[in-house]
Amino acid sequence: MANSGSPAGTGPERGGAAPRETDPDQVAKVRAWWAHRQWLNGGHDGASAAEVLSATGWARSVGGAAPYLGLFARAGLGREAVDAAVAALEVHELPSARGCTYVLPAGDYALGLAAGAGAPEADLASAAKHLDVTRDEIEKLCLAITGALAEDRPLDPPAIREAVGEAVRPLGEAGKKRGVSTTLPLALGLLQARGRIRRVPVNGRLDQQRYGYVGWDQPVKGSADELARRYLSWAAPAAVRHLRWFSGFTAATAKAALAPLDLVTLPGTDLLMPAELLPEFEEFEPPAEPRYALLAGIDGIHLLHRDLARLVDPADAQRPVPAARQGRVFGGEADPQTHIVVDRGRIVGFWEYDTEQREIVHQLFVPLDDALREAIGRTEAFVRDELGDARGFSLDSPKSRAPKIAAMRAATAT
């Protein structure tokens, strides 16, 4: 699958000055539609983790609580149910689009691996250019690793190095400067992308980054138009730039991938939608009452498009980013710098979890009504009793987020 383009967060795929619908009612309808397709308007409690991810899209995973928060908000799934689905291989964390890790349903494993296949090849090409690494050397290491791994007994990286011996080579100071201290990560990346091994969380949890590896035999198969079709089933209406952001496609690949699809453009916008969804969209009425959800800042409601302005009311765009330098405002960000509160597709608040007080701290853009109070309390109990924390990413910690929590408390008090 062709999968090259601008790196994440650079180039024209990061937002853009494309035409936007300005009618407030239409804006509210499109936002509520996104939330509806993302299963954030309610009605899906009891669905399995695989069903949620298949219907709403792959969940970005960076060693934080995002997959758990997203599955809880959409289907009321507790950590035990999600961990059981991971253990049963009904869902799994894999390197996928752009080489980034997502939690996928089993039905998408082949496609997800195909979407991410270019990233480890690019890493190998870079190592060959700058670190005197050869493909033959890495392929031999791949063989040694697959010979050492079983399908039911995970080995962590130190154990793999011990098992393969001199097949792993240190890359010296030059490698350390490039973040690759030995040849082992290059081989592990290739083997994961080929479906020959998989990474298993040591304690079975998705929000901690300690892994072992086991052997696997997963086919890798998928085309650019198949990925585009799946993407639009989760994210439509979406612009070409949104697809390019998610997939890493070049402009030419994106154009070719969309060509076989029967798409329509929403009037007054550059947003595309499968024609088969248009009647449902036209009949759709946004919920009259709020539908609050507390989500991670990298939840699919934002990250599938990575176009934050579409979820932010103009009145909220100038809100200061909690604990950021003076002049940095919410509407100027590529990504939320906190977890988010969403109502029918609109971001209506920031939140973080205070592990010392064992409570959610929030800064809301709307009045705290009973429905919002219930949503906060429900999520707070989930984080406190089942997760213990709600880290945004692997390096997030109670200490690092303390300034944001203090800033939110201060803003709420004024």
Residue 21 has pLDDT above 60, yes or no: no
pLDDT in tens, 317-371: 999 999 999 999 999 999 999 999 999 999 999 999 999 999 999 999 999 999 9
Q: Is 56 within 8 Å of 293 (Cβ atoms)?
A: no
Residue 12 maps to a domain:
no
Same-domain check for residues 310 and 407: yes
Q: Scan for tokens 């799934």, then name that residue.
A: 77
Residue 71 maps to a domain:
no
Residue 175 maps to a domain:
yes
Domain termination site, one of 215, 239, 269: 215
pLDDT band of residue 5 (cuts 50, 70, 90) is: very low
Q: What are phi and psi of 60, to 5 degrees?
A: -60, 135
Residue-by-residue DSSP string for 294-355 = EE-TTSHHHHTTT-GGGGS-HHHHTSBPTTPPTT-BGGG-SS-SSEEEEETTEEEEEEEEET
Q: Could you tell me the residue range of the domain that residue 154 belongs to?
A: 118-215
What is the count of structural domains for the chain?
2
Q: How many CB atoms lie within 10 A of CB 372?
A: 20
Residue 303 maps to a domain:
yes
- Token pair for 202: 């040591």
Q: Report the pLDDT value the prediction gives residue 10, as an integer from 0 to 100.
A: 31
Q: What are phi and psi of 225, to 5 degrees?
A: -70, -30
Which burial class, exposed, middle or buried, applies to 290 when counting CB atoms under 10 A from its CB (0-12, 13-18, 19+)?
middle
Domain termination site, one of 192, 215, 238: 215
Task: Give the chain's radius of gyration (CA, Å).
Answer: 22
Q: Is 344 within 8 Å of 28 (Cβ atoms)?
A: yes
Residue 321 maps to a domain:
yes
Residue 20 maps to a domain:
no
- Token pair for 26: 């239409």
Domain termination site, one of 215, 244, 274: 215
By C-alpha distance, which of 367, 327, 334, 335 is closest to 349?
A: 367
Which runs of E-coded beta strand occur in 153-310?
A: 197-201, 211-215, 263-265, 272-274, 292-295
Higher-confidence residue: 360 or 15? 360
Q: Is 247 within 8 Å of 115 (Cβ atoms)?
A: yes
pTM: 0.93
Residue 194 maps to a domain:
yes
Per the DSSP assignment, residues forming a β-bridge with 283 are none
Q: Report the pLDDT value the prediction gives residue 14, as an integer from 0 to 100.
A: 37
Q: Is 199 helix (H, G, I), strand (E, B) or coil?
A: strand
Same-domain check for residues 207 and 296: no
Domain of residue 166, CATH code: 1.10.10
Nearest-angstrom CA–CA distance, 88 and 102: 17
Residue 97 maps to a domain:
no
Dihedral sign computed on CA atoms, order 314, 316, 321, 325: positive
Q: Report the pLDDT value the prediction gives residue 101, as an integer from 0 to 100.
A: 96
Q: Report the pLDDT value the prediction gives residue 152, as an integer from 0 to 100.
A: 86
Displacement of CA 408 from its chain's centroid (Å): 25
End-to-end CA gap in the chain = 53
Per the DSSP assignment, residues forming a β-bridge with 366 are none
- Token pair for 211: 């892994």
Q: Report the pLDDT value the prediction gives residue 22, as an integer from 0 to 100.
A: 63
Q: Which residues fall within 8 angstroms of residue 392, CB to CB, at 6 or more apart?
A: 62, 64, 65, 66, 296, 297, 298, 338, 339, 401
Q: Which residue type, as a one-letter code, is found at position 267?
A: P
Per the DSSP assignment, residues forming a β-bridge with 91 are 105
pLDDT in tens, 263-311: 999 988 999 999 999 999 999 999 999 999 999 999 999 999 999 999 9
Q: State the Cα angle at 225 between 109 and 48, rounded to 5°.
A: 35
Q: Is 274 within 8 Å of 23 (Cβ atoms)?
A: no
Q: Which residues fall within 8 angstroms of residue 28, CB to CB, at 6 or more apart?
A: 286, 344, 345, 346
Q: Report the pLDDT value the prediction gives residue 18, as an integer from 0 to 100.
A: 38
By C-alpha distance, which of 332, 343, 263, 348 is closest to 15?
A: 332
DSSP 209: -
Q: Is 131 within 8 Å of 180 (Cβ atoms)?
A: yes
pLDDT in tens, 182-240: 999 999 999 999 999 999 998 999 998 889 999 999 999 999 999 999 999 999 999 99
